[in-house]
Amino acid sequence: MPDPAEDLIERLLDTVWYEGSSKHKRHPHLFGLEPFNGDRDDATLCDETDFQPAQVPEIPAPIQRGIRAGLIGHTARILWTVADDGWIFEARETNRETAQFHGYPLLPEEAIARLVFDRFAGWADDQGTPADRSAGAACRLRYDFR
């Protein structure tokens, strides 16, 4: 994962916003979303993290955390973050024109999880807040990273 340019980080901090996707919710109606009418294939569900509708307003903070940590894909169409409880979330661009993203949890067996954690933990130790370091410690435990 290459270091993103500072101007890219600033642009993303100013423009990225989240809107949920029914594809990643077992009960999308609880989140005010339409039912999903497609094949979920290997889509992970936010339900696996016990994510609740009341937590939706909190989503911008972890997105900003991930951007500040440089957890940005090489085309800036994918972002990652580590939530306070240690879950790693991947966000994919839904609409390029509006910088809208939707997200879902990464499972421990997904190879990218380790790469995201390593970058996040290094950033949290060097530049992060105590809350960022706490999220990194929770992630290490949740994903059993040694």
Instruction: Indicate whether 86 belongs to any domain.
Output: yes
> CB count, 10 Å around CB of 140?
15
pLDDT of residue 52 exceeding 90: no
pLDDT averaged over every residue in the chain: 92
Instruction: Indicate whether 1 belongs to any domain.
Output: no
Looking at residue 16, its pLDDT comes to 95
Instruction: Indicate whether 68 belongs to any domain.
Output: yes
Encode pLDDT of 6-49 as tens digits: 999 999 999 999 988 888 888 888 888 888 888 777 778 888 88
Structural domain range at position 120: 6-142
Domain count, the chain: 1
- When pLDDT is averaged across residues 45-61 and rounded to a whole number, the result is 86
> CB count, 10 Å around CB of 2?
8
> CB count, 10 Å around CB of 66?
27
Looking at residue 51, its pLDDT comes to 85
pTM listed for this prediction: 0.91
